[in-house]
Amino acid sequence: MESNAVLATLQPNYNILSPSRFYSSSSSAATTFLSVFYPQRTRFSPPQYLKLDKQVLAFASCRYAHEVKSPFKNAAVLSDSYSSEASELADIEWDNLGFGLLPTDYMYMMKCSQGGNFSKGELQRFGNIELNPSAGVLNYGQGLFEGLKAYRKEDGNILLFRPEENALRMRQGAERMCMPAPTVDQFVEAVKETVLANKRWVPPPGKGSLYIRPLLMGSGAVLGLAPAPEYTFLIYVSPVGNYFKEGVAPINLIVEHELHRATPGGTGGVKTIGNYAAVLKAQSAAKAKGYSDVLYLDCVHKKYLEEVSSCNIFVVKGDVISTPAIKGTILPGITRKSIIDVARSQGFQVEERFVPVDELLDADEVFCTGTAVVVSPVGSITYKGKRVSYGVDGFGAVAQQLYSVLTRLQMGLIDDKMDWTVELRIL
């Protein structure tokens, strides 16, 4: 086919740009298996264009898959309304975003059997899913999740932050939970496709971010205690604002010294779903007393800091920043890892070690890190009835400096010298 004829079948939509790397791709209720209802579909090949170099792969979306072969391993499925739907921002109040679910247009799904490999992923209309009541994830908690964000730049393009790190962490967690996992390329490509399919839900610059939630779960039916026979990898997204109701104002924590989040040899070091259900009792009690969240101690000595319910913790004294070492009971946060690198690049000494709770009494600053919160200053910590405050004017100087560098990098406002961002270019 002549090139002009090929171009005539294409509808230019977007291309994908990674300034530092490009990832090639990739009937009773008791017996109802995982399924999703979505409207009549047209097979959609992720966009393809004519030029490839080391750093840029430009594409234009095609209307029919039989006309141009997809460059990705996994074909996607989109509705006929995709192009017009994605052409403008969603009509919501961007200035009033909280951290809650707003249903978007599409989700991504991919399956495999136990001992097999993931393949044939597809985009589907966002909606409810159905699981066999005997699914492994429902009966035995065989599930993992990840969290990452996409930001819209001033030029309209979209930035992902270190998605390959989430892919690697999911693979590590899957090994602990006896689950197959997507490859890093499959994971990153699925994230890209999902974000681009929902690009109208990425908030305008400075208004928030698109939260991306990948799930890996044992969806196959299993009655006896054993790994599930089938697994589902799913990604959905939602535009979000600040995680804590205080926004970027200081949060107030209470130290929990009786209930514990994780134990040595357990699953505290992986992002399994059960880790989060275990903190709800202490967290609910803390919030009922007016605290923002709970800071947990180790379960052996009951005196060393571990983490907040869904965040890592940092303690500042002078030019030294201390954070609990990763020893199997603490989640290796990607924001944590990034803040450590940023802090060291800014001349701070960072120590990863056992941090006694008593050091909170003499700290200059305390802050939390996580995908949802990014960096959150701690205004006070209460331990055994004693409250220690760290100022009332928002960020401490150190937390403010690190927050500014990291968020400006995530939003594309400064050069990415760390080689952490992946850019999705919107035409």
Long-range CB pairs of 287-294 (<8 Å, 24+ gap) are: 289/254, 290/252, 291/252, 291/253, 291/254, 291/382, 292/244, 292/245, 292/246, 292/251, 292/252, 292/253, 293/244, 293/251, 293/253, 294/253, 294/254, 294/255, 294/256
- Sorted by sequence, the CB contacts under 8 Å of residue 193 that are 6+ apart come out as 46, 72, 76, 108, 123
The catalytic residue positions are: 271
Q: List the one residue out of 159, 166, 163 whose CA is nearest residue 333.
A: 166
- Sorted by sequence, the CB contacts under 8 Å of residue 167 that are 6+ apart come out as 182, 183, 184, 187, 188
- Sorted by sequence, the CB contacts under 8 Å of residue 93 that are 6+ apart come out as none
